[in-house]
Structure formats: C-alpha cells, structure tokens
Structure 1
Amino acid sequence: MFGSVAAKIKDAEKIVFVTGAGISQESGISTFRGKDGYWRRYDPMQLATIEAFYENPKLVWEWYEDRRRTILAARPNAGHTAIAELAKYKEVIVLTQNIDGLHQRAGSRNVYELHGSIIRIKCTACTFVENITSGFDVLPPKCVCGSILRPDVVWFGEPLPQHVWADAIMHAQSCDVMVIAGTSLLVSPANSLPFYAKQNGATLIEVNPERTVMSDEMDLSLRQTSAAILPQLVSLFK
C-alpha cells in the first residue's frame, strides 16, 4: 500500500498529521464542501462571520448548539484511533482544522486546533474561556461580565490563534513525514503547511478519496478514506 515510501515512514522520527473534515465524516459529522456539506444547506455568511453573529446571535447560537449536539454524540473512527495508536511508536503531532475534539477523544495528546473548538466558549469582551458539555437555557448565553458569549471557533475573516499557528508551522518544518488526511487543502493558511514540510525535505502522503489541488505535490496519494488507510499505516510498526 505504501510502496516506495514505506522505508521513509519506518525511519521517521516525527510524523505530523494535517487533518480536515473528511476524517470525521465517517463518524457521522458532515463535511463543509462535499455534496452533503453544511455550506450546501446554509449560507456561511449568515452563520460563520462575526458580523452575522452580532446581527443575529440567537440564530448563530441555535445552529452551533445543533452542531455541538451532533458532534458530542459522534464517536472517533478507525482513522482517529490509528493516529492515536501510532504515537506508541513515533512522535506524532496532529494539526487539525476540525473543531470536533475527536482526535483528543481517540487518545491523541499533541493536538493543535487551528480553527478552535466547538466545545469551548469565550467571551466577546473579557478573557473568559471555558469548555462546555451541556446546553444553555437562554440563547445567546451571557458571560458573568454581562457580555455575549460565543463559540471559540475561527469564523470567516478571522485570523487563526497566533500561538497555535506558530506552533503548527514549527512542527511542519521539523517533521520527517506529513500525512494530509481528509482535507481538500482549499482553506488558507492551513493549506500552506505541506509546503513548510516539503521545504524541510519531508515525505508528503495524501489520504483522500478525491484528488486535491495539491495532489501533484505529494510523494504518495492514496484514494481511500482515513478510516481505511490509517490503520494500515500503524501496521507498518507491528
């Protein structure tokens, strides 16, 4: 399956995974850009911008509450658990665009959430941040300071958390193998991470049922799902 790059994988000291919505699709969480994706059914400009939030915070919160219930009901799949298991053999870093927390629930420890987390909230005015697992009696919820709370996710037009992004670049630049799993590589700046790795001479492996805009840059492209392929990656070390 991994052919000519198998030796490089086995010899690697550090493996970085860049993951997107596709890896969680098999856990029942819709992707954003696929044929059944969220953005096919909703206007992102009405749900995922700070302007939309301030215009109608109740609508945005209702949508995110619905998404959060779906996510909390989901379970990590074989792709998530394979990444966690690989950490028994190699240094493994996960740079994820997902906000669902499934990597952590599968057992991965070194996870950098580029786009935030749907199970965290933060205040729009003060420094309050907290994880949540239950719903709110009133939407939009208010902070103790009296300001509106919002999901701790990155919306369109907002920058990534700079400390998280700086660490992501550092890990991309220092890995031996980068596995890009379940992402279309259309979203900037996360789609620049493979280039940081390639500049360091890392082996690039793409796991995606469909061709992506960066397929030609890959050392190996595997046209299957993460749940099908990643357990086979772990088997190289058993």
Structure 2
Amino acid sequence: MRKKIVVLTGAGVSAESGLKTFRDSNGLWEGHDVMEVATPQGYANNPTLVLNFYNQRRKQLFDVSPNKAHIALVALEKFYDVSIITQNVDDLHERAGSSMVLHLHGELLKVRSSIDPDVIIDWKNDLNLGDTCNKGSQLRPHIVWFGEEVPMLDKAIEITQNADIIIIIGTSMQVYPAASLVQFTPTQSPIYFIDPKPNISPSAFENLIIVQKTAAIGVPTVVADLIDRAL
C-alpha cells in the first residue's frame, strides 16, 4: 500500500509563477484594501468594484504557467498517494497535472449563486452585475471571503489526519483556520517545511524538517528525495 502524502500550499507557490501574494507588505492586495475586496461587507458596499477586482485576477491566470514546484509535485503521484490542500484560488496545481487538489479558499475559475452556495459554475470570462444563476440570483466569485465559513475545512482535516508525510510549501501557516491543519498531523509523520524565510521553530514539531529554499528549488529537491526512498 502506497504511503499518503498531504501537501499544504500557499501563496508562495503561485508567486513564483508571477501571481502576486495575497497581501503586499503594506497590507494591500493589488492596490486594494483587503476589507474592500475580500469580505461580504465589501461586496455589499460596492459589488461592481469587487466583481471587477476578481475579473482582473481571473485574467491574470491566463498569463501565467505552473512552475517547477507545481510540476515536481505531480511526479510524486507515481510513487505515493498524494493530496494537495491549497489556500490558493488559482488552478496552477491542476494545470500542472495534480489529480487531487482541494481548494480551501475557493477558486477563481468558478462562480456561485448568491442564495445557494451549492450552485457552483465553471467561469472563465468576466463576471458582471446581472449575471444570474438558474434560480435568478446574482452570481458571485466562488471565493471564501474573510468572515465566511470554510466549507472544505472538515474534508481537509480528514485528509490531514491520514497523512504519512506532510509537505508545507509557500505558506506561513499563520492564517486560520488553514493554519490549524498541521495540528491534525499524526505525531509520527515527518513534516517538510519549505520556505526561503521559515518563521517556524525547529522544535515546533517532533519530526520537522526545514528546507530553507524557494518553492521552485526546494520542492524538486524534497520530491527527488522522497522518490528515492520509495524506489
């Protein structure tokens, strides 16, 4: 039986493909206050601004490609049972070829009904006021905004609880509830933490392995080592 690897990814993975991280050092996202474009209140106050903001983010996706980190993770699937749990809303893991990707915070290439969160539609074009679902309600970005529940969290916890190995890439693991996932890792499971500026103590977990490299360099290195162990 193949070992289970759970990969937790954040903005640092997408950044190396040319997508900006969620917030710059000044607390802004693409020049906007996060509270204006990533909260239910912001959407209620100015839906046109919010829709246009995500239209621009959606367009950016078509100008970027998966990087070496995304591609390396695909190779693991030949030797391990791999699940990726990402905080990212892009589709770069899927485009690289990963077959099991769970998006904690939603997906840019999907929209959903404003009145029924289970009505989710694939969407690659601009989303405008007046675009409605089959129930007549305005469609909104399929993004989990601040203050909203994370519907995929329970599933993510279930996946993490069964991990033989954890790989954390490009995330500070300080944004909750996503940051709590690592607490559900089985005690004996090794945890690889790949980050050029790791903000985690070497003693934080019993089997912690810190790889102080960028995702595009560190992930292929770790993947190559894990494949060697599986051979």
Q: Same fold (TM over 0.5)?
A: yes
Q: 2:175 matched to 1:184?
A: no
Alignment-mate amino acid for residue 110 of structure 1? M
Could you tell me how far 1:167 is from its partner in structure 2? 1.9
CA distance in 2, matches of 1:128, 1:171: 24
- 1:146-169 superposed Cα distances (whole Å, 9 cap, x missing partner): 3211000100000101xx222211
Alignment-mate amino acid for residue 113 of structure 1? H
Q: 2:120 matched to 1:133?
A: no
2:220 counterpart residue number:
231
Residue number among 11, 14, 17 corresponding to 2:4 in the alignment: 14
Unaligned segments of structure 1, at least 5 residues: 1-10
* Higher-helix-fraction structure: 1
CA distance in 1, matches of 2:85, 2:130: 30
Q: Is the 8 A contact 1:206 1:215 kept in 2?
A: no
CA distance in 2, matches of 1:40, 1:208: 23
Residue number among 165, 181, 185 corresponding to 2:153 in the alignment: 165
Could you tell me how far 1:214 is from its partner in structure 2? 5.8
Could you tell me how far 1:234 is from its partner in structure 2? 2.6
Could you tell me how far 1:128 is from its partner in structure 2? 2.6
Q: In angstroms, what is the RMSD of aligned CA positions?
A: 2.1
CA distance in 1, matches of 2:2, 2:25: 36
- 1:12-66 superposed Cα distances (whole Å, 9 cap, x missing partner): 8111100000001010000023448753732111111111112111000000000
Q: 2:16 matched to 1:29?
A: no
Q: Which moved more, 1:17-26 or 1:219-228?
A: 219-228
SS at match of 1:73: coil
Q: Is the 8 A contact 1:124 1:150 kept in 2?
A: yes
1:100 counterpart residue number:
90
1:8 counterpart residue number:
none
Unaligned segments of structure 2, at least 5 residues: none
TM-score, structure 2 as length reference:
0.89
TM-score, structure 1 as length reference:
0.87
- 1:156-197 superposed Cα distances (whole Å, 9 cap, x missing partner): 000101xx2222111211111101100011110110111111
